[in-house]
A and B are shown apart, each in its own frame.
Chain A
Amino acid sequence: GAVVSQHPSRVICKSGTSVKIECRSLDFQATTMFWYRQFPKQSLMLMATSNEGSKATYEQGVEKDKFLINHASLTLSTLTVTSAHPEDSSFYICSARTSGAGETQYFGPGTRLLVL
């Protein structure tokens, strides 16, 4: 299957700092990438849809000024958690959608964010 990478895999930061998470599709081009958030023992919740060359589409209740998304190329999307607080601590996972017949979403390995 297609490969999606995420960096960093784990980050610990102080409250008030900003954290950038990168999501890359390694062997295919992805015009659309998705950012999810997962709290412990819960399901994945879609935060936003990232479209190459245009503004991201945020789900209801997700603060777009808090979670900045940039999709500058067909293989890279970034999520920046601005002024992070302890309640932002979570597991963030990106996915990239392949195109054409049999398209599916492939997920990155995820980033564990801990805000102290």
Chain B
Amino acid sequence: AQKITQTQPGMFVQEKEAVTLDCTYDTSDQSYGLFWYKQPSSGEMIFLIYQGSYDEQNATEGRYSLNFQKARKSANLVISASQLGDSAMYFCAMREGLQGAQKLVFGQGTRLTINP
């Protein structure tokens, strides 16, 4: 079963508009972490934002915020005032547990295109 689900293969948004990228997750752990990464065409993975399962407030980093709804197991990324440079692939990822290697599991990604 998919642990991370991103249901939007592609999104098209007008410049300066806000955009929400969906991510739902599945875990039985009480302690876990949720991440969003941006991957431009160059291929590098750029860390955007992190939300811990015990964090009571939604994480924010500049124009990025994470809409964390624990009961619904969703961790949507919100980008405010989108820019042309935001066009890229976006991956949601989850790290489970406190022990062990704590590897990341990635969703399938959403390709975001910002139109001028």
Q: Interface residues, chain A, CB within 8 Å of chain B?
A: 1, 32, 34, 38, 42-44, 46, 49, 51, 57, 91, 93, 95, 97, 102, 104-110, 112
Q: Which 9 A-B pairs have the closest CB atoms?
A: A107-B45, A110-B43, A49-B101, A109-B44, A43-B106, A44-B106, A43-B108, A43-B109, A104-B50
Partner of B91, one of A43, A49, A106, A110: A43
B43/A112 in contact, CB under 8 A: yes
Chain A residues touching B, majority SS: strand
Chain A residues near B99 (CB-CB < 8 A): none
Partner of B102, one of A43, A97, A110, A112: A97
Task: Given A91-B43, A93-B45, A97-B102, decide whether A105 and B35 contact each other with a Cβ distance below 8 A.
Answer: yes
Distance in angstroms from A75 CB to nearest chain B CB is 18
B12 at the interface (CB under 8 A from A): no
Q: Which of B78-99 contact A (CB under 8 A)?
A: 91, 95
| Measured CA separation A51–B100 after assembly (Å) | 11
B101/A102 in contact, CB under 8 A: no
Task: Given A34-B104, A49-B101, A105-B104, decide whether A44 and B91 contact each other with a Cβ distance below 8 A.
Answer: yes
| Measured CA separation A107–B33 after assembly (Å) | 17
Q: Interface residues, chain B, CB within 8 Å of chain A?
A: 33, 35, 37, 42-47, 50, 91, 95, 101-109
B106/A49 in contact, CB under 8 A: no
Chain A residues near B106 (CB-CB < 8 A): 43-44
Task: Given A43-B91, A44-B106, decide whether A104 and B101 contact each other with a Cβ distance below 8 A.
Answer: no
B47/A110 in contact, CB under 8 A: no
Beyond the given A46-B104, A104-B50, please list 10 additional residue pairs across the A-B interface where CB-CB is below 8 A: A34-B101, A38-B43, A42-B108, A44-B45, A97-B102, A104-B33, A104-B47, A107-B37, A107-B47, A112-B43
Chain B residues near A42 (CB-CB < 8 A): 108
A102/B45 in contact, CB under 8 A: no
| Measured CA separation A19–B45 after assembly (Å) | 22
B103/A46 in contact, CB under 8 A: yes
